[in-house]
Structures are given as C-alpha cells and as structure tokens.
A and B are shown apart, each in its own frame.
Chain A
Amino acid sequence: MLKSNAMQNSAYYHYSPSYKFSIGIEQVKDKYFDADYSYLRLTYLLNRKNTQHSQRNLYLQSGISSDGVDHYFYGVHGDWETRRLFSGFGYKETQTASLDYAEKYLQLGVAPYIGEYGDLHTWLMVKAKHDELTNEWNTYPVLKLFKGNALMEIGYTDASEWDIHFMYRF
C-alpha cells in the first residue's frame, strides 16, 4: 500500500494470516518533521456485520516506531458500504517524543454505476479530514478506482494538495 499526501509519503507491506488481523511494516518519509522511520503495524477487525446487500466494519489499528517506544500510534477506523453507497470514518492518535497529535476523517461516497466482478469499479467520494498539526479541516473530492487486485484513491485539496493511496493485493 502506497500513500502520499502533504504530511508524509509511506509504503506499507502487510500480511493477513486471517481476515481478522494483519501485521506489517510501514516505511514513512515524514515531510512535516523531516524524518524517516518505520512502524511495526497491527490492524485488528473488531466487528464485522455482513448482510446480503451491505457490510459494516470496525477496525483497531496500532503501530510502534523504529524511533523508539515513545513514538507510536493507535486508532480506530470503520466503514459501512453497499454496492452503491459508502461511508467511513477514522481517528488516529500519534505520540512522539516531542509532540502528540491526532488525525480524524469522515468519508462519503457513491458509485455512479454498478460494475460486475472483473469490471473497473468507480466511486465518487467526499472526504473531510482534520489534522491537529495544522489544526484545519479540509474537505475535498476523492476519486476511487479499482479493478482486479489493484485499487487507487486520488484526492486533491488546495490546502494539503494531493492525497493519493494505491493498494495492490498479492
């Protein structure tokens, strides 16, 4: 998983021994603090509800940095989606030796057409994100595309510029 935004670039390699949790290493190039470090990350599926036309998920996430035990993060994120609608949220608290800060977001989306298995799938989304480091809410459009094992999310805002997320499942 590759992510790039105004605050950092990161590459996250993870393995899921079961659908309940995944473990991985995230390499971060932190633009705000001008630092490079890695996180050992763990994500746990706390709750999932499957219905015929929807799925709801609630995840816990945490990570400890290669900088030391006083640099870590924890948080929660969740989503509810049908084949037409998507809603998601996230909250992440990061503690470092010098500064503690939180990030939160809300995301809503709609699929303009319903694709079948193997088609190119498209979501039009709006994301509202708050970062304590800048103490600003940014609301911006996001285009999410996926086909096969590849997924890409592209957002753009004047304040934080590009917010790009790419994922490939092996």
Chain B
Amino acid sequence: MKNFYLLFVMIAAVYTSAQDHQMHDMEGHNHEGHLHDTMVDGKLLEVNAERFDDFVLGLEGKQVAIVSVSGMVCDFCARGIEKTFSKDKTVLKLDVDLSGGKVLIAFDKDKNIDFEDIKKKILSNGQNATDLQIMKI
C-alpha cells in the first residue's frame, strides 16, 4: 500500500513539473518540432527554430556548423560533447538540440571547419556525427 502511495506522490510531482514545463513552453520555448524551413547546402535545416534563433544572436559575421548526431538521446550523455568542444579555443559557442539530434557549433568566418575532426570529437563521447551543414550568419 505504501508503494502505491509513493507512486501516486511521484506521479503527482511529475504532473506538476510537466504543467510547469507547458507554462514554460507558452512563454516561447516550444520543444516539439519547429523545423526551420531554410535550405543549407541543398538540404533542409532541421533544427529547433527558436533554439537556433537564440543561438545565433550576436553571431553576425560568424559561421555555424550544424552537426547531425546519432545516439544523442539523453541530456546527461550529451554533456560530454559540450565539455569536449569547450577545450577547442576556435569554438565561439555551442548548443545541443536534443529534439533535432543536432549540435550547433559557432566558429569565426575564416575557420576551416573540418568534419573529420568534429566526427572524432563526437565519437570520443560515444556518439556518431553523421552529417554537417555550415551556415554563414
């Protein structure tokens, strides 16, 4: 009986948390879909639009590598990607778009973006980089 009571308390707590989350969504952070209808390198840019727009704020004149990553299903597991790229001094900014399966990495406009190097860094965290799109901001 105690277990059922505990389960009920847990569900109630999570429901409240989910409600808070929806309120947060209404304030402009939608976590579902929102694909950018922009073409980059002949391919649709499939990222969370609002997250992408927030990311590129202040990056005028820079370039952004949009890396498709497989196996990036959990925030906790993706933390290592941020840690690995933070050691690279040419990286200006980084974000992880879990819903789109993308890692966004900002570089200076003159930086030669090496996909093989990005693949190695992503693999060192246990995920696989499968595609790269580069967008000039």
Interface residues of chain A, those whose CB is within 8 Å of chain B, are 18-19, 45, 48-55, 81-83, 112-122, 124, 140-141, 143, 146-149, 151, 156-158, 169
| Complex Cα gap A7–B120 (Å) | 42
Q: Once the chains bind, are B76 and A146 in contact (CB under 8 Å)? A: yes
B14 is an interface residue with CB less than 8 A from chain A: yes
The interface residues of chain A lying within 8 Å CB-to-CB of B7 are 141
Q: Which of B75, B127, B128 contacts A115 (CB 8 A)?
A: B75
List 8 A–B pairs whose Cβ atoms lie within 8 Å, in order of A's numbering. Answer: A51-B70, A83-B73, A83-B98, A114-B32, A120-B17, A140-B3, A158-B3, A169-B80
Q: Which of A48, A113, A141 contacts B21 (CB 8 A)?
A: A113
The interface residues of chain B lying within 8 Å CB-to-CB of A52 are 70, 101, 130
Q: Once the chains bind, are B71 and A119 in contact (CB under 8 Å)? A: no
| Complex Cα gap A83–B128 (Å) | 17
Interface string of B41-85 (1 = CB under 8 A from A): 000000010010000000000000000001101111111100000
Shortest CB-to-CB span from B35 to chain A, Å, is 14
7 additional A-B residue pairs with CB within 8 Å, beyond A18-B124, A50-B128, A141-B10: A19-B80, A45-B126, A51-B71, A52-B130, A115-B98, A116-B99, A122-B18
**Interface range on chain B: under 10, 10 to 19, 20 to 34, or 35 or more?**
35 or more
Q: Once the chains bind, are B79 and A149 in contact (CB under 8 Å)? A: yes
| Complex Cα gap A133–B128 (Å) | 41
Q: Which of A51, A116, A124 contacts B29 (CB 8 A)?
A: A116
Q: Once the chains bind, are A81 and B124 in contact (CB under 8 Å)? A: no
Interface string of B85-105 (1 = CB under 8 A from A): 000000000011111010000
Q: Once the chains bind, are B71 and A50 in contact (CB under 8 Å)? A: yes
Tell whether A141 pairs with B3 under 8 Å between CB atoms, given A83-B74, A113-B21: yes
Tell whether A143 pairs with B77 under 8 Å between CB atoms, given A19-B126, A45-B126, A52-B70: no
Q: Once the chains bind, are A48 and B14 in contact (CB under 8 Å)? A: no
What residue in chain B is nearest A49 (Cβ atoms)? B71
Tell whether A119 pairs with B75 under 8 Å between CB atoms, given A19-B125, A112-B18, A141-B10: yes
What residue in chain B is nearest A149 (Cβ atoms)? B79
| Complex Cα gap A156–B127 (Å) | 33
Shortest CB-to-CB span from B87 to chain A, Å, is 14
Q: Once the chains bind, are B6 and A156 in contact (CB under 8 Å)? A: yes
